[in-house]
Amino acid sequence: MASKPLCLVERPVPEPGPGELQVRVICCGVCRTDLHLAKGDLPPRARDITPGHEVVGEVVTTGPGATRFRPGDRVGVAWLGGTDGTCRYCRRGAENLCPASVYTGWDRHGGYAEYLTAADAFVHPLPGGFSDAELAPLLCAGIIGYRALRRAQVPPGGTLGIWGFGGSAHLAAQIAMGQGAEVHVFTRAPAAQDLALSLGVASAQDSFDPAPVPLDSAIIFAPVGDVVPAAVAALDRGGTCAIAGIYLTDIPSLNYDKHLFQERNLCSVTSNTRGDAAEFLTLAQRLAIKVTTTPYPFEQADKALADLAGDRIHGAGVLQLKTVGPDG
Ligand SMILES: [Zn+2]
Ligand SMILES: [Zn+2]
């Protein structure tokens, strides 16, 4: 991040094509995936793409055939920006695995901008009860955390361990607790441990400390392969560990008896479906989850990413846009 990979440029306001909306950005969350893209951990899919995929904005104009929203509607634009709708994965309801999927801020210009366009069919209506800044991290951190929680298959009243406690984890932990799980947090950052305890988790300790109880489920949010053996070793018989990130450093070798035997499961989490998003946004409102954000002025996007890299953000970072719109 020392090379300051972001640069501020002027571009024409994008016009919506068929089936698209033109959205004025109100704020945009800062996600770890933006950091992986800026650092080159994830290869770029197109040149000079504007990052940002936790976009809260207002519909300005609608393109031909875009009928779900009207000008003035407040909407969310998230990571999954489009799929073909026809491949074998889309046909079985697994659109998160679509090989032709496109992503906001990776294939399409994202929300570190005053305006963007987005496919009407992939834009989300937003729940009430949250400020604009609180809604932003729900749109990726929240949705992907929810999919990870589903993949981790926590049984009713079960125990869940969470490795890493940033934007995504602090939301997933609250959903899990709202559904009756006992949550234990493993992170090296004292501030993150404090946040976890303030939200009501049963315990918070260092990433490599032993789990206080056998875990039915685990979710790894830290992009650190070194914690995988610790997480699977902490699983009870039949337990499941889900790796939530799009990027993970190499996993050290596992010992079959110590880490996997007794039907323990280790799985990844890839993107999300629109169904995951709708379900999560409904539950976030119903369970009144608390969203912790740290605001950054738009011009300080580089600082926000550097702070994220250095674990210096409390909760989720959110870029605030100040645009007053084309009419002044
Ligand atoms: Zn598909
Ligand atoms: Zn994200």
Over the stretch 46-70, which tens digit does the pLDDT of each residue have? 888 999 999 999 999 999 999 999 9
Counting ligands in written order, which one lies closest to the CA of residue 33? Answer: 2
Q: What's the pLDDT score for residue 328?
A: 38
* Distance in Å, CA 266 to ligand 1 centroid: 25
In tens, the pLDDT along 141-173 reads 999 999 999 999 999 999 999 999 988 999 999
pTM of the shown model: 0.91
Six-digit token pair at 185?
A: 């947090």
CA distance 118 to 192: 34
Q: What's the pLDDT score for residue 215?
A: 98
Counting ligands in written order, which one lies closest to the CA of residue 140? Answer: 2
Counting ligands in written order, which one lies closest to the CA of residue 271? Answer: 2
Asked if residues 312 and 158 have their Cβ atoms less than 8 Å apart, the reply is: no
In tens, the pLDDT along 82-134 reads 999 999 999 999 999 999 999 999 999 999 999 999 999 999 999 999 999 99
For residue 41, is pLDDT > 50? yes
Six-digit token pair at 312?
A: 């210096």
Q: What's the pLDDT score for residue 5?
A: 77
Six-digit token pair at 252?
A: 């050290």
Q: What residues form DSSP beta bridges with 185?
A: 162, 204
Six-digit token pair at 218?
A: 């685990």
Dihedrals φ, ψ of 304, to 5°?
A: -60, -45
* Distance in Å, CA 64 to ligand 1 centroid: 23
Asked if residues 13 and 300 have their Cβ atoms less than 8 Å apart, the reply is: no
Q: What's the pLDDT score for residue 319?
A: 97
Counting ligands in written order, which one lies closest to the CA of residue 51? Answer: 2
Report helix, strand or coil for 91: helix
* Distance in Å, CA 87 to ligand 1 centroid: 4
* Distance in Å, CA 80 to ligand 1 centroid: 12
Counting ligands in written order, which one lies closest to the CA of residue 55? Answer: 2
Q: What's the pLDDT score for residue 49?
A: 93
Q: How confident is the model at residue 81 (pLDDT cuts 50, 70, 90)?
A: very high
In tens, the pLDDT along 204-221 reads 999 999 999 999 999 999
Angle 260-265-271 from CA coordinates, rounded to 5°:
140
* Distance in Å, CA 141 to ligand 2 centroid: 6
Counting ligands in written order, which one lies closest to the CA of residue 100? Answer: 1
Residues 6+ apart with CB under 8 A from 45: 103, 106, 107
Six-digit token pair at 49?
A: 């793409």
For residue 202, is pLDDT > 60? yes
